[in-house]
Structures are given as structure tokens and as C-alpha cells.
Amino acid sequence: MFLVVDNSRVHRAKKVKEFVEASQGALSLFFLPPYSPELNPDEWVWKNVKHNRIARASARGVEELKALALGALRRLQKMPALVRSFFADPHLTYIGASLR
């Protein structure tokens, strides 16, 4: 299994490295360049959540903001065609082409 990840400290943590090594080659991590939001489809997810859902609401506190974010993410779970479209951006080069 190949997993493309960003350069978050979490993805480079010792426990992650140990887990990957323990998979005995069944799992390989590939890291995106240090700052490359245009290459990361996750950025399209967060843009959709922030700009299309949360920005249109007026949260009155942290709990309400959390509920709005979770609701927006659950909405995306029910819209796989929309999520697939995030991979179709031409900047994603071969990743987007392989999912079309």
C-alpha cells in the first residue's frame, strides 16, 4: 500500500516510522514537498468545509464551531463524487489522472 502524506510532524514521528518498518514493505509512505497545498487534495476538503460551510455560519463558541465542522465533513462523506473531483485538479498531475 502506498500512502501519500504531507510533511506534518505526526507523519514523521518515530512511532509512524516503526509502524511502517513493522509492515515489512506492505506499507510505503511518500511525502509531499514541505509546503505544497496545490498538490494536496486534503486542502480542497478543508477549503470546502471552511469556505462553503463554516464561513456562511456564525458560530457562537468553540463547541458550535466544532459541530459545524463535523457536520460539513459528514456532508462530504455522503458526496463521493464531490470528493473525487478534488483529485481532478490539473495541478495534481498523475494523481488526478489516475482517478478519472
Q: Are residues 9 and 48 in the same domain?
A: no
CB 7 within 8 A of CB 31: yes
Specify whether 25 is located in the same domain as 73.
Answer: no
pLDDT above 90: residue 78: yes
Its domain, for residue 63, covers 36-100
46 and 25 both lie in a single domain: no
Same domain for 21 and 56, yes or no, is: no
pLDDT, tens digit, for every residue of 7-58? Answer: 888 999 999 999 999 999 999 999 888 777 777 777 888 888 888 878 878 8
Under 8 Å between Cβ of 48 and 72:
yes
Q: Are 51 and 62 in contact (CB under 8 A)?
A: no
Based on the domain organization, do 41 and 81 belong to the same domain?
A: yes
Q: 6 and 27: one domain?
A: yes
Put simply, whether the predicted model's pTM sits higher than 0.85 gets the answer no
The verdict on 24 and 44 lying in the same domain is no
State the total domains in the chain. 2
pLDDT band at 96; cut points 50, 70, 90: very low
pLDDT, position 70: 93
DSSP string, 63-96: HHHHHHHHHHHHHHHT-HHHHHHHTT-GGGHHHH
